[in-house]
Structure 1
Amino acid sequence: MSDKSRGYIYALLAVCIFAAQDGITKYLGDRYPPLFITLIRFWAFAAFVLIFAASSKGGLRGAAKTRHPFLQSIRGVLLVTEIVLVVFAYRYAGLAMSQAIFQAAPLFVTILSVPLLGEVVGWRRATAVVAGLLGVLIIINPVEAHFGVAMVLPLAAAMIFAIYSIATRAVSHKDTAVTSLLYTGIAGAVAISLIGPFYWVEVAAADWLVLAALCMCGTLSHYFLILAYGYLPAAQIQPVTYLQLVLNVIIAVVGFNEVITGNMIVGSIIVVAAGLFTVWRESRLAKAAKH
């Protein structure tokens, strides 16, 4: 089997597990406080990154060395905040609607890369971004739907994840991926531990198994994604990740009786197409810059 094939298999496994993780998150988010769920999830994630960093080249001490301690820590806080918003979004906006809107995150990355990283966005990517944002409006359907907090939640989560991605891009020039993963897990766990315990509730015996499954999914999904990045560049992995939207829609309809409307389908197609184009265009420009 070629390295490229291995990369796609690992990416596919990661996406499938991420989708299962979203379904479990939706189930738990409807029953328990989102901050409590995120607390348990990040404690497990922190344990995973500690073990992963300790087993990496240079060990835990080597992984902890960073040129950007503040920015790395902020990344962890941003990610845990995004996850809390996602859990709230799944509860109030629904799994399918939230995931459809969240696909706009790559477009927000393109927008924010201009003021935050000083990148230049040409007319092609700018057009794709505008089209993608129009797709988000089609998904939300503000003419017929009441634009309330439920719709703001996934939009806010997508925006915060975009800022997290920008910060990740900024630190990647000096720090290794293992270092970034370590600080994300530890800083996020510390941040949620300052608030999460106040929302601790009694959990049904059967739901502890569901929580364990959530933690397992969170660990395996990140592990397989790391393996995928070891064989494939980000531009080739990104298209595979959009399969998660399809899987989440299936889970939402079958598992939670959510209704998928025509505007959600049309808007999602536009957003995904715009996101794929921006990723493809950025990879082309990166290759051209190297030559």
Structure 2
Amino acid sequence: MTKDRFGARDDAEGTRAGIGIMFAVTFAFSVMDTLTKMASQIYPAPQILWIRYMVFAGVTVADGLRRRGRYLFVSRAFVLQLTRGFLLSGEILVFIIALRHLPLADVQAIAAAGPLITTALSVPVLREQVGIRRWTAIGVGAVGVMIIIRPGFAAFDPMLLVPLFGISLYALYQVLTRRAARYDDAGTTVLYTGVTGLFAMTCVGPFFWITPDWQGLALMAGIGVIGLTGHGLLIKALSLAPASVLQPLNYLMLPWAVLWGYLIYDDLPDLATVIGAAIVVASGIYTFHRERVVRSVT
């Protein structure tokens, strides 16, 4: 077994364990999305997210203060941390709205384009080099998204643009998170993620508050707990296996979404959505492959 200077493992046993944990991660996030869709039929998106951030920020702040005290709040990129925190809270709000109005599988099919958008944004924001093969994959993935959305056709649903906007916000958030890693450690970044989101939702949430019964409160608190558990498992998986191996497994969210959508809402994606999603996923996996190849030779 080998470890790098941050304690992350880099061996076959660790990789297998990390892959196994990623199955649990995608399961947890798919359950969180399903419960969010249920809650969004009754409660406003800002209220759901406010309670979710109460759970997330409360745990991360308590853990951070226990580990490092008030020094955890010291950031060398304060504005950058605030910006990425606000972006994430906006992205989650957008996705809650999308989950309320669209089938789970349709939302995840469009969200599958996230890695492609992230790769494209890394060029102007991070000054990373992206070769012709990855640009081609991005273009092919864009075709897949267009097949799902079908602009100009009778089946076009403008609501499908909502998750596309959301995943674009998330891609920008990811790129800015990479940039923040140049200045602050992971603990500080996680802390600002929770605190900034909680601040944003505290400013907005009270204007959309609907007093929940105990079942509604338990549902929204459960969303927060499951989300926090999923992120904890993801951190553990990344400590065991390389990110380039684990990232493509995020596409497991799509079959999970199809399963929950069918079992709970009797929804199945149509043929165009299946074809478009397959193109997007294939393009994303190829992009991950090329990124790994490029990094191995540099």
Q: TM-score scaled by structure 1? A: 0.94
The residue that corresponds to 2:267 in the other structure is: 258
Counterpart of 1:195 in 2: which secondary structure? Answer: helix
Counterpart of 1:179 in 2: which secondary structure? Answer: helix
Tell whether 2:62 aligns with 1:60.
no
The residue that corresponds to 1:51 in the other structure is: 62
The residue that corresponds to 1:178 in the other structure is: 187
CA distance in 1, matches of 2:71, 2:274: 46
Tell whether 2:258 aligns with 1:249.
yes
> Which amino acid in the other structure matches residue 38 of structure 1?
L
Q: Provide Cα deviations, 1:93-140, integer angstroms capped at 9, x if missing partner.
A: 232111110111111111111221222221100110001010011111
Tell whether 2:56 aligns with 1:36.
no
Offset at 1:55? 4.5
Q: Contact between 1:132 and 1:270, CA under 8 Å: does it hold in 2?
A: yes
Larger deviation: 252-261 or 128-137? 252-261
Q: 1:196 aligns with which of 185, 205, 208?
A: 205
Counterpart of 2:297 in 1: which secondary structure? Answer: helix
CA distance in 2, matches of 1:85, 1:190: 17
For residues 279-290 of structure 1, what are the structure 2 equivalents within 5 Å? 279-289=288-298
Runs of 4+ in 1 over 3 A off after TM superposition: none
> Which amino acid in the other structure matches residue 224 of structure 2?
C
For residues 15-164 of structure 1, what are the structure 2 equivalents within 5 Å? 15-56=26-67, 59-142=68-151, 143-148=153-158, 150-164=159-173
Counterpart of 2:129 in 1: which secondary structure? Answer: coil
> Which amino acid in the other structure matches residue 232 of structure 1?
A
CA distance in 1, matches of 2:94, 2:127: 28
Counterpart of 2:144 in 1: which secondary structure? Answer: helix
Q: 1:213 aligns with which of 213, 222, 241?
A: 222
CA distance in 2, matches of 1:61, 1:259: 49
Q: Contact between 2:149 and 2:161, CA under 8 Å: does it hold in 1?
A: no
Q: 1:229 aligns with which of 232, 238, 241?
A: 238
Unpaired runs of 5+ residues, structure 1, are: none
Q: Contact between 1:50 and 1:60, CA under 8 Å: does it hold in 2?
A: no
CA distance in 1, matches of 2:238, 2:69: 21
Q: Provide Cα deviations, 1:224-264, integer angstroms capped at 9, x if missing partner.
A: 11111111221111121111111011111211222310111
CA distance in 1, matches of 2:188, 2:262: 39
Counterpart of 1:162 in 2: which secondary structure? Answer: helix
CA distance in 1, matches of 2:252, 2:72: 32
- Pairs aligned (count): 286
Q: Contact between 2:144 and 2:277, CA under 8 Å: does it hold in 1?
A: yes
Q: Provide Cα deviations, 1:186-212, integer angstroms capped at 9, x if missing partner.
A: 111111111111111021332222122
Q: Contact between 1:253 and 1:260, CA under 8 Å: does it hold in 2?
A: no
Q: Provide Cα deviations, 1:136-177, integer angstroms capped at 9, x if missing partner.
A: 1111123232342x1121011010001000101111123211
CA distance in 1, matches of 2:228, 2:51: 12
Q: Provide Cα deviations, 1:18-66, integer angstroms capped at 9, x if missing partner.
A: 010000001011111011111111111111211332344xx13343232
CA distance in 2, matches of 1:174, 1:118: 16
Unpaired runs of 5+ residues, structure 2, are: 1-11
Q: 1:219 to 1:92 in 2, by over 3 A?
A: same
Counterpart of 1:258 in 2: which secondary structure? Answer: coil
CA distance in 1, matches of 2:154, 2:122: 33
Identity rate, percent: 33
- Root-mean-square deviation (Å): 1.5
